[in-house]
Structures are given as C-alpha cells and as structure tokens.
Chains A and B, each alone.
Chain A
Amino acid sequence: MVGNLAFVLLSAILVNNFLLSRFLGICPFLGISKQVETAFGMGMAVTFVMAMASAITYLVQMLLVQLHLEYLQTLTFILVIAALVQLVEVVLKKVSPGLYKALGVYLPLITTNCAVLGVTLINMTENYDFITSVVNGIGGALGFTLIIVTFAAIRERQATNKVYKSFEGFPLALVTAGLLSLAFMGFNGFNLKALLGL
C-alpha cells in the first residue's frame, strides 16, 4: 500500500511530470517563472488547490455516478475548482494576509491552470481510489513546483545575457524548457518499481 503510494507520488513528480511530459499548466509556467520567489509561492498555492481538488472531485464523482449524471463531470469539476480557489482566497485573506498579498493576482488565476482540472480528470481515467487520488494530486503539484522553481532560476540567469532579438522572451523560454524536458526524459529509463521493491 505504502509502496504503491510512493510509486504514484514519485512517478507524478519525476517520470510523468505535469509540465514537462504531460503538458499541463504551461501558461503559468511561462508567465510566472521570471523570479524564483513568486514561482515558489505559486507552486505552493497550486499544491494546496490540487490536493483539495483531487479529494473533493473524488467525492463529487461518487455522487454523479450515484445519480447517473456522469456527463456533467467536466462542468461540475470546473465549478468545484473555481469555488475552491475562491475559498482558498477568502481563508488566506483572513488567516495569513502576508501570504495572500504575496500571491496577489496569481491566486484567482489557478482556476484556469489546466494542471488542476487535468489531475482530477487523470484520477478518474486511471480509476485511482481516494487516497491515491490525493497523493497523485500532491505529487503532480510538487513536480510542478520543482520545475517552475528550477526554470525560474535558469531564467534569472538568462535575463542578464544578450540574446538574439527574435529569440527574446517566449521563444528562448520554450527552447530552454525543451532542454529541461530532455533532461527529465532520463527518468523514463528509471525503474521505480524495482527501486521501491514492488
């Protein structure tokens, strides 16, 4: 059981990284990766929302199956996520105004981060149980945080370099992300199951 959970967690972080191999959450990845600090804050907020969303949508899906309303999956999931992000915003504003201020405009934008809706849909297609869904959500989000922080550190270095004019901004960021993704492809040959003794 624990081994299986560790397998789901590690493969969500390293092997099937949301950003680099599943292409989920590229918009915030390119938009909010100019500074390590904001990238980290974003990563943490996304981690909380993804873990909560995985748990709640699991329960919502059970309800939908009971009522034979499976075709409403997409619609209810996105509404759950939007409500959750709103809730996080309200609670954070009350409990920790400092963090709330630091995250600023990035907080409401989590609703349209496709990694959040993506992880809930992946949980459903993979038929994960409740605990595994939550672990997959946390793993996916930690992988997201790892990459966005690494990438921000690379971009901080690049900012001071002289770049060919047509490569300024997005093109350079995309090619850099490609090289980073190439490095992470190495984890594909990594036998996680043997490592965890499964």
Chain B
Amino acid sequence: MSIKNDLTNGIARENPIFRLVLGTCPTLATSLSVSNGIGMGLAATVVLVGSNAIISALRNVIPDKVRIPAYIVVIAAFVTIVDKLMAAFVPSLHSVLGIFIPLIVVNCIILARAESFASKNPVINSMADGLGMGMGFTLSLVLMSTIREILGTGKLLVAKDFGFAGFKLFNEAFAAKIMISPPGGFITFGLLMALINYISQRREARANGR
C-alpha cells in the first residue's frame, strides 16, 4: 500500500469512531464544544503519530512476549509530554478535558494501531497511518461536537483559551440543554452512526443494483 493510501485510510474507509468503534469514551465525553473536540483530537493525533513512529522503529527490537507493556510505556511517555505541554500553553482547555488527557493512554485507537499497523510496517507508513487515524478521529469529534454545541448552547466555536466568545446563532433560552449533558452524547452518537450506516447501505444497494 502506498503512503497516500495509508494516510486516507483512517479518515473515511476505516474511520476509528464510526467504522471501527474505537475510542468511544473520549468521543462522548469531550464533544461538548467544537474547541474541546479539536483539542482532544489534536492531542490524540500527536500521540498517535509519535507512538506509531517509535513503535515502528523498534518493531524488530521489542520481544514478542512483552510487546504490549512496551507499547504502553511508549504511549504513556507521549501522553505525559502532551499533557504537560497542554497544561502550560492552553490551561483552560487542559482543565476542561481533565482526566481525559491522561486517559489517552488507554484509548483503544492508539494501542490498536500500534498492534495492527505500526508493529508490521516501516516508520514513514506508520506515521502516515497515525496521522490519518488522528485526522479521522478529529473530524468525527468535530462533527459530533458541532451538532451538540449548536443545539445545546445556541453558539458555535466558543474558545476560552484564545479569548473567542463564539458565534451566537440563536437565543440560549431555546437551546436544548440535554444535548450537552450525557444522554445527548449517547443519542447524538447513536443517531449519527445510524445515519452513516444508512448512507453506506444505500450506496451498496445502488452499486449492486446496476
């Protein structure tokens, strides 16, 4: 497979959220606003690219029996770096995301890519795969959080760290608070996944029909 193919794989065909259904916890918890979603997505992308690169470079050195603990140590090191950087440069985003930043360690997307891709492919391809998967994760988060933020608060793109108050789309009195509370997360995620299934099933049926 070419590098370009590895890069685009994660964005659509094997989208980690809607296709592989990995990393559901951060998806539900951090999709309250678009800026949280982007922050979480980019943090996970940095960890994915870094850990994929290191694990791929060490793939012939790490003994097979202890590979999972070794992967976890590499991932945890990158997560710590990202955690400390975010605490220093985007403190309010860091405090909103809270424990979900250290929890990137147990995000199944990252361990799954280490195990199923980086441990078998060269460094450049693994980095491309990490970047693609990270982008797919970020885009899914943006999609979810756009819906939840607009319906739940009546605003879009509120970003405290950059002193941006967001666009006001309609009066907050009309906003459905349920969308930014936990049930709204589950329901939005479920309906979006059903919509994506519907579109791909229609497409498949049409392709078979002709």
Contact = CB atoms under 8 A, between A and B. Distances in A.
Given A22-B29, A79-B73, A121 B102 contact: yes
Interface string A165-188: 111101111110111011001000
Contact size range, B: 35 or more
Contacts of A8: none
Interface string A70-101: 01111100110010000000000000000000
B59 to A, nearest CB: 20
A71 B76 CA distance: 11
Interface stretch (B124-132, B162-170, B176-184): B176-184
Nearest to B195: A166
A30 B27 CA distance: 14
A117 B100 CA distance: 10
A73 B24 contact: no
Interface string B4-39: 000000000000000001101110110000000000
B207 interface: no
Contacts of B195: 166
A147 to B, nearest CB: 12
Interface in A107-122: 111-114, 117-118, 121-122
A164 B193 CA distance: 13
Contacts of A174: 186-187, 189-190, 193
Contact of A82 (B69, B186, B190): B69
Contacts, number: 117
A111 B73 CA distance: 13
A166 B99 contact: no
Contacts of A164: 194
Given A121-B102, A171-B197, A182 B183 contact: yes
A121 B106 CA distance: 13
A114 B108 CA distance: 9
A30 B187 CA distance: 14
Residue from B182, B193, B195 having most chain A Cβ neighbours under 10 A: B182
A66 interface: no
B108 A27 contact: yes
Contact of A178 (B76, B84, B107, B186): B186
A71 B80 contact: yes
Contacts of A25: 25
B28 A74 contact: no
A170 B21 contact: yes
A22 B25 CA distance: 9
B102 A21 contact: no
B77 interface: yes
Given A118-B99, A174-B186, A174-B187, A30 B24 contact: yes
Given A71-B84, A79-B72, A174-B186, A114 B25 contact: yes
The 3 residue pairs across chains A and B that have the minimum distance between CB atoms: A174-B190, A178-B186, A178-B187
22 contacts: A22-B29, A23-B26, A23-B28, A23-B182, A25-B25, A26-B24, A27-B24, A74-B79, A75-B77, A78-B106, A79-B69, A114-B106, A117-B103, A118-B103, A121-B102, A125-B98, A166-B194, A166-B198, A167-B194, A174-B193, A179-B187, A181-B186
